[in-house]
Amino acid sequence: MSIEHDETKGNEQPEPADKTAMKNTAMKGKRKKMLLAFCVLLVLVGVCYAIWLIFFAGKSVSTDNAYTDVEVAEVTPLVNGPVKEVKVVDTQTVHAGDVLVVLDDTDARIAVRRAEADLGSARRRVQQIMASDKTLTGQSDQRGAQIHGAEQAVARARARYDKAVLDEKRRRNLVEGGAVSRQEFTDSQAELREATAALEQAEANLTASRAASVSAQGERQANQALFMDSTIETNPIVLTAKARLEKARIDLDRTVIRAPVDGIVTQRSVDIGQHVQSGMRLMKVVPIQNIYVNANFKETQLAHVKPGQKVHLTSDLYGDDVVYDGIVEGFAGGSGAALSVIPAQNATGNWIKVVRRLPVRIRLEPEQLIKHPLRIGLSMEATVDLTSSGNPRGHVQE
């Protein structure tokens, strides 16, 4: 070993050999201890890894490709009209039934009054129909009496005809023997012709009377069909008018547009004075209390994932300090690639196999959402506990 000398202290003496040996021995001991500690650390790491493999490996699957989502409520008018008031703005919290937009209701009120008048007219029309039944009944009875009179007239005409036939036949036989004059015979023939005509007229009158009776009965039956088995209020004519009135009142109520669910107003696109059409989107209401998570797991992770299993989730919004408890509700009908607007076509032969992801719907606990609310589209990290019991029928366990 070379001994270094300081230029300013050239009079220092070299260290003794025994002291150098002791220092080397101490360094070797220190190295041994460090090597031993490193070996112990490796053993501990190996033991921990073995314990993890035995007790935890394969017990859960995780993904950070997860996002919050919810069925958003579209707010659309059911009637046409100009906007009179807009009572909400974006980001405002609303409850189901709160007024969002008010349309001008002038036309709707006029329609209600017209429908009320039509209902009154319908009631009077039914009353008139019922009263007409008595008139038609009298006419039917009158036709029956006319038929009886016509039958009597036919009987008298037939008797006269029969007498005229006999007289004509008797005088025909007598006129040949000169017992009666030719004039009497001619008169008997004239009487026969008159009796024949009278009989034909009586029979025609009887036929006309019977036809008139049938017509009267038909009119009465047709009139009775308009109110048969009903009162004024249950008559179809009145019920139709009531339905029109109810529709007019509903249209009047629909000029006030209310929130369909509890939630947050988003994407408001309506202003005062705007003329809106039925079905036109005015805004959206996001029911944040019903938010769920769509976790896109790799297909290789889903072999043991079942509906009903427990899920632990964290959000980038709150970090790892807030852990949500969820439950697997079900799986999408296809991967995102298969259900895309332009799905991949691998039949060309030039393709690279890519692990697909399948959306898994995860329900969140409502109490936790109230305590730590979320918004749609936020990033989440989901870990499914494969040791928890799933529901083989595919329904969420309550």
Q: Which of 98-112, 145-159, 262-276 has the lowest mean pLDDT?
A: 145-159
Please state the rounded mean pLDDT for residues 219-236.
78
How buried is residue 238: exposed, middle or buried, by Cβ count under 10 Å (0-12/13-18/19+)? buried
For residue 275, pLDDT over 80 is answered with yes
* pLDDT bucket at 197, cuts 50 / 70 / 90: confident
pLDDT score, position 393: 44
How far apart CA 313 and CA 384 sit, in angstroms, is 9
Looking at per-residue pLDDT, the higher value among 255 and 5 belongs to: 255
pLDDT score, position 345: 66
Please state the rounded mean pLDDT for residues 179-184.
71
Q: Chain-wide mean pLDDT for the chain?
A: 83
For residue 346, pLDDT over 80 is answered with no
pLDDT score, position 57: 54
* pLDDT bucket at 16, cuts 50 / 70 / 90: low
For residue 54, pLDDT over 90 is answered with no
Domains of the chain are: 59-71+286-385 (2.40.30.170), 73-104+254-285 (2.40.50.100), 108-249 (1.10.287.620)
> Closest Cα partner for 240 from 84, 125, 368, 87?
125
For residue 13, pLDDT over 70 is answered with no
pLDDT score, position 135: 77
For residue 322, pLDDT over 70 is answered with yes
* pLDDT bucket at 257, cuts 50 / 70 / 90: very high
* pLDDT bucket at 93, cuts 50 / 70 / 90: very high
pLDDT score, position 70: 94
User: What is the tens place of the pLDDT at every residue in 348-365?
Assistant: 666 667 788 999 999 999
pLDDT score, position 87: 96
* pLDDT bucket at 154, cuts 50 / 70 / 90: confident
pLDDT score, position 396: 38
For residue 237, pLDDT over 50 is answered with yes
